[in-house]
Structure 1
Amino acid sequence: MRSLPLAGALLLLLAGGCTSSSPDRNPQPGPSTVASPPTWTEPSDYTFVLERRCEGKSSLGTYRVTVTNRKVSAADRIDGRKIIGEEEIEVPTLAGLLQLADTAAEDGGRTSTRADPLDGHPLEVAFDVSETGDNADNTCFHITDYTPKA
């Protein structure tokens, strides 16, 4: 009956946790109280850096993107690589990336996104619409240097 002393110890710990604390203490968020990132609303004008790269694979391009009136006004390749044997992409806005992921999900594809915990803008967007689901056709984007224009 070793479980009886263990149960008693657990009861003591639980009872100890039920004591009141001083009202001036601010509780720190723990795993159960961490909120989801806020819902992101696309600003009219912003810049960001976009890299096409899935984990474990080499980069397929890095771009500095300028969005004006919610449309890409400039997308400059900044990785210094020449386009050889790969297709250049039409770089989307961040809202466009999220829409691509939504469309992939609606088509039965697997998607994943990760958002900035402070303002909710996307940090990573990935989707795979292949029928095999073996990640061979993953499309992955990493977003850095996001700067909304004031």
Structure 2
Amino acid sequence: MRFAGALGALALTGVVAGCTSSPSPSPAPVSPSAVPASAAPAWTEPASYSFLLTRGCDEAAPLARYQATVRDGRMTTSARVGGAASPGPSADVDLGPVTGDEGEEIEVPTLGELVDMAQTAADDGGRVSTVHDTADGHPVRVVVNVSGAADGDECWIVSDYHVG
């Protein structure tokens, strides 16, 4: 399954569950300045940018937040912002301390890699929802569910996006 490889590249721990599709709850609402991919302007990943990536579907209690910087198209820095790591729905078990905290830790993707991961999941039959910024089309929310379980969503929220 190609999605398992894509998510495996992002997650240092965790195993993707099966690849079936069934309805699951809708993701939380997004800001009025965000629209589905079909209504957003085309986005081309800039060579250099920074962003805050929030992982988790409950914005009030996310699994983790990461401040990231991309230079020359490659992730140059990423740092966890507050809180301890928690296992996500894709983790079969809590694999223990990765960075001194309990739970799952990830390798932060560039936004291009996040878009590619969502496309791979959709190509493999997963349920994918992507919301883009109305001004420049960069992704602001990606929800992927390859398990088919109602609680199987993996959510990625992008904020504080700055080019340059």
**By the TM > 0.5 criterion, same fold?**
yes
User: Aligned partners of 1:123 and 1:106: how far apart in 2?
Assistant: 21
Equivalent position SS for 2:152: coil
Highest CA radius of gyration, 1 or 2? 1
User: Quick one: which of 105, 122, 143 aligns to 2:139?
Assistant: 122
Compute the displacement of 1:82 (Å). Answer: 3.0
1:86 matched to 2:103 = yes
**Any stretches of 5+ residues in structure 1 without a counterpart?**
1-34
User: Aligned partners of 1:85 and 1:135: how far apart in 2?
Assistant: 25
Report how many aligned residue pairs link the two structures. Answer: 112
1:137 matched to 2:152 = yes
Question: TM-score, length-normalised on structure 1?
Answer: 0.70
User: Aligned partners of 2:132 and 2:59: how far apart in 1?
Assistant: 21
**Any stretches of 5+ residues in structure 2 without a counterpart?**
1-37, 86-100
1:100 matched to 2:117 = yes
Compute the displacement of 1:116 (Å). Answer: 0.3
User: Aligned partners of 1:48 and 1:95: how far apart in 2?
Assistant: 12
2:31 corresponds in structure 1 to none
Ranked by relative contact order (alpha carbons within 8 Å, sequence separation 6 or more), the top structure is 2
Question: TM-score, length-normalised on structure 2?
Answer: 0.64
1:67 matched to 2:84 = no
What do residues 59-107 of structure 1 show as CA deviations (whole Å, max 9, x unaligned)? 11101000011111000111x2233432100100001001010011111
2:126 corresponds in structure 1 to 109
User: Aligned partners of 1:36 and 1:56: how far apart in 2?
Assistant: 24
Q: Supply the RMSD in Å over aligned alpha carbons.
A: 1.7
What do residues 28-84 of structure 1 show as CA deviations (whole Å, max 9, x unaligned)? xxxxxxx92110000000000000011477311101000011111000111x22334
One-letter amino acid of the structure 2 residue matched with residue 142 of structure 1: I
One-letter amino acid of the structure 2 residue matched with residue 104 of structure 1: A
1:9 corresponds in structure 2 to none
Q: Percent same amino acid among aligned pairs? A: 42
